[in-house]
């Protein structure tokens, strides 16, 4: 599925970062984009390119952490035929490919010291030398680099060249983590949810229950927007009642009663207690004990009524969160849903 390119957000820290990138875009200067994983650093790089005078030129992306150290220089600067084992023919590097456009270097802090040396020369003199070549090649490239590391600290530790940092940090755009973007989680969740519902060809978008949305907004989001998208899309595709608001949220897709780390015979997370990663909102309020059913000559009807009253009480105590209710009643999620269908309680929602 294609990655969504547009920016969604209304929080001031987020809008300030986008505005700073927009102002720097027309300038033919390098820009550093700093942010945690999943905050949208590559989207900012694309914005810098498309709002610049280089928009018609190439935008070349290279993840510096994706290649072994001995191949990074060849990938960046190219090589001549026979320059090293396996170099059967001459190949242009990313710098030459990006000539006239923008080169986006992701995970910049992982560059080796020799690669930093060569990158410094390329930035300073606008020329690169292929491995095995004797003459440099002139290139016209704007560099946008991104990292989630604190580069001044790495410089102090001798892990990153101070002069290279000076040349790349004309402007620094720092993206805020999602947990600090007040009000943006709900906007993003609705956007990703609607998109997934459309992909699944649902007739409409039921939205999230109040409890589910509250849990999304209170979660810490260590993976930021990328993690939020995965959580929301997973919740939508697993939901089997497109007509009712989504109330089941699983933050940790690895949570499983058959986890390899679980000791034989030990209680599973689902059996021991509802995890925050698997519930839209949990409640510490115990399920109230229902009053004994009145005396009756119809045993089956009395059992049916008593079971229904237990389900209604548990749903209310857990704010109509079905996964939390299942855990409170020591039932599996599927067992609870079968019981709710049997008693025609599937459409129960908080008042």
| 186-235 per-position pLDDT tens digit | 999 999 999 999 999 999 999 999 999 999 999 999 999 999 999 999 99
Q: Are residues 95 and 220 in the same domain?
A: no
**Residues contacting 121, CB < 8 A, separation 6+:** 127, 128
Task: Evaluate whether residue 1 is within a structural domain.
Answer: no
Q: Are residues 190 and 215 in the same domain?
A: yes
What does the pLDDT look like over 277-324, one tens digit per residue? 344 444 444 444 445 555 666 777 777 888 888 988 888 888 888 888
Q: How confident is the model at residue 73 (pLDDT cuts 50, 70, 90)?
A: confident
Alpha helix locations (H) across the chain? Answer: 12-24, 41-50, 69-77, 94-97, 113-125, 151-156, 162-168, 184-199, 210-218, 224-238, 269-272, 299-317, 322-328, 333-342
β-strand partners of 326: none
Q: Indicate if the pLDDT at residue 343 is higher than 50.
A: yes
Q: Are residues 94 and 234 in the same domain?
A: no
CB atoms within 10 A of CB 57: 17
CB atoms within 10 A of CB 102: 23
Q: Among 253-262, 278-287, 322-331, which range has the highest average pLDDT?
A: 322-331
CATH number at residue 301: 1.10.10
Domain that holds residue 297: 268-351
Task: Evaluate whether residue 330 is within a structural domain.
Answer: yes
Q: Are residues 158 and 26 in the same domain?
A: yes
Task: Evaluate whether residue 152 is within a structural domain.
Answer: yes
Kindly report the backbone phi and psi dihedral angles of residue 282, in degrees, each rounded to the nearest multiple of 5, phi listed first.
Answer: -100, 165
What burial class does residue 18 get, using C-beta atoms within 10 Å of its C-beta: 0-12 exposed, 13-18 middle, 19+ buried? Answer: middle
CA distances in angstroms from 312 to 249, 285, 294, 304, 350, listed in the order given: 21, 14, 18, 12, 11
The pTM (predicted TM-score) of the whole model is: 0.71
Q: Are residues 54 and 198 in the same domain?
A: no
Q: Are residues 190 and 168 in the same domain?
A: no
Please tell me the distance from the alpha carbon of residue 171 to that of residue 168, in angstroms, as a whole number. 8
Task: Evaluate whether residue 260 is within a structural domain.
Answer: no
Q: Are residues 236 and 212 in the same domain?
A: yes
What is the mean pLDDT of the segment spanning 112-136? 90
Q: Are residues 148 and 279 in the same domain?
A: no
Q: Using the structure block, give the residue that is written with the tokens 């942010």.
A: 35
Task: Evaluate whether residue 293 is within a structural domain.
Answer: yes
What is the mean pLDDT of the segment spanning 326-332? 83
Q: How many domains does the chain have?
A: 3
What is the mean pLDDT of the segment spanning 328-347? 82
Q: Do residues 152 and 164 make contact, with C-beta atoms less than 8 angstroms apart?
A: no
Residue scoring higher pLDDT (229 or 6): 229
Q: Are residues 27 and 143 in the same domain?
A: yes
| Tokens linked to 30 | 């390098």
Last residue of a domain, one of 176, 195, 223: 176
Judged by average pLDDT, the poorest of 50-54, 165-169, 257-261, 291-295 is: 291-295
Q: Are residues 120 and 209 in the same domain?
A: no
* pLDDT score, position 316: 85
β-strand partners of 91: 79
Q: Are residues 163 and 75 in the same domain?
A: yes
Q: Are residues 157 and 195 in the same domain?
A: no
Q: Do residues 30 and 168 make contact, with C-beta atoms less than 8 angstroms apart?
A: yes
Last residue of a domain, one of 218, 249, 280: 249
């Amino acid at each position: 599925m294609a990655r969504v390119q547009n920016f969604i957000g209304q929080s001031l820290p987020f809008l300030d970062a986008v505005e700073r990138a927009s102002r720097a875009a027309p300038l033919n200067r390098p820009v550093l984009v700093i942010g945690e994983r999943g905050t949208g650093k590559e989207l900012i790089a694309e914005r810098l390119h498309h709002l610049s005078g280089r928009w018609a030129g190439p935008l070349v992306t290279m993840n510096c952490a994706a290649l072994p150290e001995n191949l990074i220089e060849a990938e960046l600067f190219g090589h001549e035929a026979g320059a090293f084992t396996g170099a059967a023919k001459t190949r242009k590097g990313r710098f030459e490919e990006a000539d006239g456009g923008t080169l986006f270097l992701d995970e910049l802090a992982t560059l080796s010291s020799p690669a930093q040396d060569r990158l410094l020369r390329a930035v300073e003199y606008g020329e690169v030398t292929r491995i095995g070549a004797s003459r440099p090649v002139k290139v016209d490239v704007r560099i946008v680099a991104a990292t989630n590391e604190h580069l001044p600290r790495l410089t102090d530790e001798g892990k990153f060249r101070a002069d290279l940092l000076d040349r790349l940090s004309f402007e620094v755009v720092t993206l805020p983590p999602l947990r600090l973007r007040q009000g943006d989680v709900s906007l993003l969740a609705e956007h990703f949810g609607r998109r997934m519902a459309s992909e699944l060809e649902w007739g409409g978008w039921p939205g999230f229950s109040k409890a589910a949305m509250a849990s999304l907004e209170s979660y810490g989001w260590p993976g930021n927007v990328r993690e939020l998208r995965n959580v929301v899309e997973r919740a939508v595709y697993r939901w089997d009642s497109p007509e009712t608001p989504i109330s089941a949220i699983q933050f940790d897709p690895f949570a499983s009663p058959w986890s390899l780390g679980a000791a034989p015979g030990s209680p599973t997370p689902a059996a021991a207690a509802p995890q925050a990663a698997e519930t839209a909102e949990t409640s510490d309020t115990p399920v109230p004990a229902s009053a004994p059913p009145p005396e009756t000559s119809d045993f089956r009807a009395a059992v049916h009524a008593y079971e229904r009253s237990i389900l209604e009480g548990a749903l209310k105590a857990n704010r109509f969160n079905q996964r939390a209710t299942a855990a409170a009643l020591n039932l599996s999620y599927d067992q609870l849903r079968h019981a709710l269908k049997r008693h025609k309680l599937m459409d129960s929602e908080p008042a």
